[in-house]
DNA sequence: TGCCGCAATCTGTGATCACAGTTAGCTTCC
DNA sequence: GGAAGCTAACTGTGATCACAGATTGCGGCA
């Protein structure tokens, strides 16, 4: 089961696609899973050495991630995981509420028995992980991601999915850093409740309720982060 | 005045940023402005020669555009401007309606006198161009883009703007190809009316009306393209 | 005359090298 | 002992070369 959760796979191991593609997926997965903290530096040469490659594929991968705002690269300076100002975080949150809420609403109309079963399985996994007193944080983050993307995939829009993936690439490091510093947020159960509400809404085809459930999930986490986390400003 | 319209500037000429950045903007501008048709091939070496550079900056720029779906690059095959299936075009249209509609609604609440004046100026330019019997198509497309982005900029969300730019990168070639083949669409005035309705809505702060105006603009053009254009399938 | 096949050319991918600007640590001087 | 300045290591950027697979067009054969 664990193998299916992105945080526990390494894109470098599957031998499909070019080296650049694999490095891109490798870094993207680690960013979404929060394995990098905002402000972290990484060097093309260091990464390429760690991966046993020349710097070319790393260069291309980093350049793509930079184009999507997932990394920042200033000429002749080290590549960094972006720091985010509070205003920027509020902006991206508002956009996520709109877009991910729309995807959830769409999923109500397009969900198939298969995708619904997938959503239910992910909901259960996340709930069970959250209820454990000593939850593995990395695992919980991955399970949360798995639930959300099960919903978004059910919407059946490749365009929407790609946009949402890019958004998660940017907020991944922040959400994860916050959860690491405030693990009690998991036990408060806000996310579990929102997921449950979302699941029920999709099961019953109530689009507006699904949108609100996702909005409250995202909004709740963001409000918490804005209150606790020292973002820039 | 014309210098302000992106289609008539060349990102290669401004000397800010790295060569890769400039090539990226150069190609992105040309894609949005529809200077490439779907299915067009381009070669790294040809582009780099035309620009008087080595292929490295072109490579990075193309790689970023490919990551955003604006170009397609299969290993050892020529880079191509993506062909789009009708289903894919419908998908991207639905997403544009939602996201660009949201941006317009947001603009109603965040517009300043300055941004409103900018929107009004762009609306007038596009209207006057459309009313000419022999409208320059490329100019009209650029003016349409200028109006839309004046609205989206007024929404004050950098995140939203970046997402919308990526969407236009993908639909640019298709919309432009269609207009070239069916120039009469411009004279039918659907776009002019929708723009006017959007402008009035923003001026009066009617968010829902602004959203509907943008939705009808996008939806109208897409319906026309789907009926006339031979997309794949 | 038409079709098959080979070869020259063109494709992106990856590695390596050179370079200039940045950073950080050490030395030296006060 | 502390701070300033210099140097050495490290940064991404760009160019060039080598390679293998795809494409294309020409020539020969039927």
Of residues B229 and A9, the one with the higher pLDDT is B229
As a three-state string, the secondary structure of B7-56 is: HHCCCCCCCCCCHHHHHHHHHHHHHHCCCCCCCCEECHHHHHHHHCCCHH
The pLDDT tens digits of the residues spanning A150-166 come to 999 999 999 999 999 99
The C-alpha atoms of residue B57 and residue B65 are separated, in whole angstroms, by: 12
The pLDDT tens digits of the residues spanning A174-190 come to 999 988 888 888 888 88
- Confirm whether B233 is domain-assigned: no
Please report the pLDDT score of residue A9 as a whole number: 52
Euclidean distance between the first and the last CA atom of chain B, given in angstroms as a whole number: 41
pLDDT level of residue B2 (50, 70, 90 thresholds): very low
Last residue of a domain, one of B40, B58, B80: B80
Same domain, yes or no: A33 and A104: no
Last residue of a domain, one of A20, A52, A80: A80
Considering all nucleic acid strands, name the nucleotide whose C1' atom is nearest to the C-alpha of residue B59.
Answer: C12
Cα A189 to chain centroid distance, Å, stands at 19
Please report the pLDDT score of residue B24 as a whole number: 96
pLDDT level of residue A15 (50, 70, 90 thresholds): confident
Tally Cβ neighbours within 10 Å of residue B27.
26
pLDDT > 70 fraction of chain A, expressed in percent and rounded: 95
A8-34 b/e with 16+ CB inside 10 Å = b?
eeebbeeeeeebbbbbbbbbbbbbbbb
B19 CB less than 7 Å from any atom of strand D: yes
Same domain, yes or no: A209 and A110: yes
pLDDT level of residue A90 (50, 70, 90 thresholds): very high
Q: Which residue is nearest to the C1' sugar atom of D19, using CA?
A: B76
Same domain, yes or no: A129 and A215: yes
Same domain, yes or no: B218 and B124: yes
Same domain, yes or no: B28 and B95: no
B15 CB less than 7 Å from any atom of strand D: no
Strand C contact nucleotides, protein CB < 7 Å: 10-17, 20-23
Mean pLDDT, all residues of chain A: 91
Q: Which of residues 150-179 of A touch strand D (CB under 7 A)?
A: none
Domain that holds residue B71: 2-80
Chain A contact set for B63 (CB, 8 A): 20, 60, 63-64
- Confirm whether A233 is domain-assigned: no
Helix (H, G, I), strand (E, B) or coil at A106: helix
Q: How many domains does chain B have?
A: 2
Q: How far is CA B80 from CA A32, A162, B29, B35, B171, in A?
A: 30, 20, 16, 13, 14
| CATH code assigned at A193 | 1.20.120.530
- Confirm whether A213 is domain-assigned: yes
Chain B contact set for A59 (CB, 8 A): 60
- Confirm whether B195 is domain-assigned: yes
Which helix (H) or strand (E) element contains residue A14? none
The C-alpha atoms of residue B57 and residue B76 are separated, in whole angstroms, by: 18
Q: Do A63 and B68 touch (CB under 8 A)?
A: no
Q: How far is CA A223 from CA A93, A159, A218, in A?
A: 9, 28, 9
The pLDDT tens digits of the residues spanning B196-209 come to 999 999 999 999 99
Last residue of a domain, one of A48, A63, A80: A80
Predicted ipTM? 0.91
Please report the pLDDT score of residue A233 as a whole number: 65
The pLDDT of residue A6 is above 60: no
Contact A42, A26 (CB under 8 A): no
Same domain, yes or no: B31 and B102: no
Q: Tell whether the torsion through CA atoms of A205, A209, A213 and A215 is positive or negative.
A: positive
Same domain, yes or no: B30 and B145: no
Same domain, yes or no: A180 and A65: no
The pLDDT of residue B45 is above 70: yes
- Confirm whether A206 is domain-assigned: yes
Same domain, yes or no: A95 and A179: yes
Same domain, yes or no: B165 and B144: yes
Tally Cβ neighbours within 10 Å of residue B181.
12
Specify the length of chain B in residues. 233
The pLDDT of residue A3 is above 50: no
Contact A152, A100 (CB under 8 A): yes
- Confirm whether B20 is domain-assigned: yes
Output the six-digit token pair for B53. Answer: 């550079």
pLDDT level of residue B96 (50, 70, 90 thresholds): very high
Same domain, yes or no: B68 and B125: no
Q: Which of residues 10-69 of B touch strand C (CB under 7 A)?
A: 42-46, 55-56, 59, 63
| CATH code assigned at A50 | 1.10.10.10
Output the six-digit token pair for B26. Answer: 């150069």
- Confirm whether B69 is domain-assigned: yes
Which of A80-94, A131-145, B45-59, B67-81 has the weakest average pLDDT? A131-145
The C-alpha atoms of residue A151 and residue A106 are separated, in whole angstroms, by: 9
To the nearest whole angstrom, how far is the Cα of A134 from the nearest Cα of chain B? Answer: 36
pLDDT level of residue B65 (50, 70, 90 thresholds): very high
Contact A151, A207 (CB under 8 A): no
Same domain, yes or no: A190 and A95: yes
The pLDDT tens digits of the residues spanning A119-144 come to 999 999 999 998 888 878 888 999 99
The C-alpha atoms of residue A150 and residue A87 are separated, in whole angstroms, by: 29
CB-based contact (8 Å) between B165 and chain A? no
The C-alpha atoms of residue B170 and residue B192 are separated, in whole angstroms, by: 23
Calculate mean pLDDT across residues A89-104: 98
Which of A51-65, A173-187, B162-176 has the weakest average pLDDT? A173-187
pLDDT level of residue A231 (50, 70, 90 thresholds): confident
The C-alpha atoms of residue B8 and residue B33 are separated, in whole angstroms, by: 9
Which helix (H) or strand (E) element contains residue B149? helix B137-154
Please report the pLDDT score of residue A138 as a whole number: 87
């Amino acid at each position: 089961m664990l193998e299916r959760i992105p945080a526990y796979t390494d894109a470098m191991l599957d031998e499909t696609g070019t080296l650049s593609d694999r490095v891109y997926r490798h870094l993207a997965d680690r960013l979404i899973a929060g394995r990098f903290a905002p402000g972290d530096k990484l060097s093309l040469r260091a990464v390429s050495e760690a991966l046993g490659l020349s710097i070319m594929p790393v260069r291309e991968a980093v350049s793509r991630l930079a184009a999507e705002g997932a990394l920042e690269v200033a000429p002749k300076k080290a590549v960094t995981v972006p720091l985010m100002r509070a205003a920027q975080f509020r902006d991206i949150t508002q956009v996520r509420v709109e877009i991910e809420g729309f995807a959830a609403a769409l999923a109500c109309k397009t969900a198939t028995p298969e995708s619904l079963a997938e959503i239910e399985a992910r909901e259960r996994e996340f709930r069970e992980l959250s209820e454990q007193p000593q939850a593995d944080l990395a695992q919980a983050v991955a399970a949360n991601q798995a639930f959300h993307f099960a919903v978004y995939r059910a919407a059946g829009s490749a365009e929407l999915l790609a946009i949402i993936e890019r958004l998660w690439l940017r907020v991944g490091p922040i959400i994860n850093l916050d959860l690491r510093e405030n693990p009690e947020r998991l036990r408060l159960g806000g996310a579990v409740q929102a997921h449950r509400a979302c699941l029920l809404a999709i099961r019953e085809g109530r689009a507006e309720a699904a949108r609100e459930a996702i909005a409250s999930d995202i909004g709740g986490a963001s409000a918490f982060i804005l209150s606790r986390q020292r973002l820039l400003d």
